[in-house]
Amino acid sequence: MKKFIVLLVCVVVLLVGDKSGIESSFDPKKAYEQGIAFYNNKEYDKAFESFKKACDGGNMRACFNLGVMYDNGIGVKKNEQKAAELYKKACDGGNMSGCGALGTMYEYGIGVEKNEQKAVELYKKICDGGNMFGCYNLGTMYAKGSGVEKDLGKAVELYKKACDGGDMHGCVNLGVMYEKGNGVEKNEQKAVEVFKKACDGGDMDGCRNLGVMYECGNGVEKNEQKAAELYKKACDGGEMLGCTNLGSMYANGDGVEEDFSKAAELLKKACDGGDMNGCRNLDIIYKLMAK
């Protein structure tokens, strides 16, 4: 009987060892990396399959990326509910990008029932964890009083944390708070400083706002040529209000030589891009050109 028991134990050990060998042959990290390669090569169907395998295997970055594909309808039919589920899985697994995306879904009621308090919780979680996107979004919630009691001072604190941490949107909003004196003592020079940081960091809203400061001479010596340069940078970078402002400068000959044709071109770009001020100004330019 003893020998029989020993043999049975040996059989169990061998089976467990064999199963472990099979599982270890699949590497979720490798599948995730393959998914990235497929995605960058625009092979979205293959990317989707690789991310799904990696996600099912426990790779939370893959779950987040899979959520993004469902969210935007890339390589799969758009499904915001499924995207929210995957963001939640990623978040629960410790992926901060998943938490941030899920927070946005709750904030706007996309794929889930709108719940601003839940959005605040998620933004706070990732902000406390060092994710500056979360700090910026949490600051915005405090600035608006959405899901939390309105507190402009707290918003400033969070925008500053985000800006100092490298989130350029945080710098833009911090600059606006300094420029208007919301939640902090009005300081146009400080506004210029943070708008410049945002612009240099690639945020086109920062470039446009810095252009406004130069055009109006707020916090800096008035310089319409510099304003036009900044509006052009913003416009070229896809910021439509920058196109509107630059078009208006061409229409008026401010900082650039007056050129109605160039003004119309820029204002049409702004209008086509969704800026209603551009549409209104374009109508005025067309009427002036018709005279």
pLDDT of 139: 98
Q: What is the pLDDT of residues 124-145, one digit of tens each?
A: 999 999 999 999 999 999 999 9
Spans in the chain with pLDDT lower than 50: 1-24
pLDDT of 291: 73
Q: Write out the two tokens for 272.
A: 């086509």
pLDDT of 160: 98
Nearest to 162 by CA among 151, 173, 153: 173
pLDDT of 25: 67
pLDDT of 7: 37
What is the pTM for the complete model shown? 0.85
**8 A C-beta contact, residue 191 and residue 163:** no
